[in-house]
């Protein structure tokens, strides 16, 4: 099994970005292994970034377990929370000032508006309670990636800060996002296309495939879409390898990259491993967690070489 992180010979920079909200499962193992292989084949650098922004669900014990399980698989990274590196900190909960600067820039450039809609407002505007409603939050405001969320009906779009000549506070008077949700205003009908290095050409339409999405939650936490795009750009990531459940998030993140003046990285989405009923694996599938497979005596080779069903 490969064990060393060799010195980079190219400018390729990839990343592993686990969320410490549960134990990693065999699907994560496959995706992270692909990320490691692609970085190695490119002679590049692989970094580890801990995506622990969700204050309710992130746990130190899962962060430690993720690093430990990935090392056990044979995956090595050159920069990360345990190694340091030129783009430290590699833990999202320590990077608020970077996200705040990005939020300010988006606001000043007319991309954001504050949204007062409650979960109830959104449910009634959308017709019915939606599965993705989160207790204690609003529809659409997840920190965890949520690719298929209902399209925001646009109720608060009129709050867009585009007209500094109007009376009242202007974007430059607003210093912090606290106390309210902030949404990114997508241009309805805008086509977002990208070439996926694994799945080929992809095409999404703003306003149809996804709507105005939350970039900052009213409890003071930046969203996954904002934090991920900003980190990939500021950490110099040249290729993002992740699961195909995040394809629409990629389309949203491309819009953030462009709005902030970044060049988006290349993309490689891995097909998702499914269980014997064809359902996507989730952290609740305890028996397929790397932890329990290790405890049952399976080896990295058993896990990486097994024939597993994938979606699509």
Give me the residues that bind ligand GLU (CB under 6 A), please.
Answer: 17-19, 51, 145, 228, 242, 246
- What does DSSP assign to residue 213? E
Nearest to 155 by CA among 205, 217, 208, 211: 211
62 or 113: whose CB is closer to ligand GLU? Answer: 62
Among candidates 77, 75, 19, 73, which has minimal Cα distance to 293?
73
| Minimum separation from the CB atom of position 18 to ligand GLU (A) | 5
Q: How far is the CB of 154 from ligand GLU (least distance, A)?
A: 27
Within its chain, how far is the Cα of 227 from the centroid? Answer: 7
Nearer to ligand GLU, 117 or 141 (CB): 141
3: exposed, middle or buried (Cβ count in 10 Å: 0-12, 13-18, 19+): exposed
Is the separation of the CB atoms in 195 and 202 below 8 Å?
A: yes
Nearest approach, Cβ of 189 to ligand GLU (angstroms)? 26
What is the smallest separation between the CB atom of 242 and ligand GLU, expressed in angstroms? 3
- Of 137 and 145, nearer to ligand GLU (C-beta) is 145
Q: Which is nearer to ligand GLU, 114 or 137 (CB)?
A: 137
DSSP state string for 47-95 = EE-B----TTT--HHHHHHHHHHHHHHT---SBBTTTB-TT---BGGG-
Instruction: State which residue, 122 or 227, has the beta carbon closest to ligand GLU.
Output: 227
Measured at CB, which residue is nearest to ligand GLU? 242
Q: Minimum CB separation from ligand GLU for residue 243, in Å?
A: 7
**Residue 115 vs 254, nearer CB to ligand GLU:** 254
Q: How far is the CB of 57 from ligand GLU (least distance, A)?
A: 11
């Amino acid at each position: 099994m490969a064990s060393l992180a060799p010195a980079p010979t190219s400018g390729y920079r990839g990343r592993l970005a686990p969320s410490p909200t549960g134990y990693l499962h065999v699907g994560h193992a496959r995706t992270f292994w692909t990320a490691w292989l692609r970085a190695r084949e490119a002679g590049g650098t692989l970094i580890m970034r801990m995506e622990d922004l969700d204050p309710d669900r992130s746990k130190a014990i899962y962060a430690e377990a993720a690093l430990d399980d990935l090392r056990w698989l044979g995956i090595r990274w050159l920069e990360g929370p345990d190694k340091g590196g030129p783009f430290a900190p590699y833990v999202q909960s320590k990077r608020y000032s970077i996200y705040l600067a990005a939020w300010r820039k988006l606001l000043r450039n007319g991309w954001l508006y504050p949204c007062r809609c409650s979960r109830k407002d959104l449910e009634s505007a959308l017709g019915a309670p939606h599965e993705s409603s989160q207790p204690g939050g609003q529809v659409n405001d997840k920190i965890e990636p949520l690719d298929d969320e209902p399209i925001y009906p646009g109720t608060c779009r009129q709050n867009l800060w585009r007209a500094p000549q109007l009376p009242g506070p202007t974007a430059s008077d607003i210093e912090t996002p606290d106390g309210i949700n902030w949404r990114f205003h997508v241009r309805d009908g805008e086509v977002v296309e990208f070439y996926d290095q694994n799945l080929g050409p992809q095409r999404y339409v703003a306003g149809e495939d996804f709507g105005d999405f939350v970039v900052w939650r009213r409890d003071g936490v930046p969203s996954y879409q904002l934090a991920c795009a900003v980190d990939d750009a500021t950490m110099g990531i040249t290729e993002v390898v992740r699961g195909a459940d995040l394809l629409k998030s990629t389309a949203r993140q491309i819009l953030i990259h462009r709005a902030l003046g970044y060049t988006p990285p290349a993309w490689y989405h891995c097909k998702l491993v499914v269980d014997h009923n064809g359902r996507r694996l989730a952290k609740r599938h305890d028996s397929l967690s790397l932890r329990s497979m290790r405890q049952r005596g399976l080896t990295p080779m058993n896990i990486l070489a097994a024939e597993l069903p994938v979606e699509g």
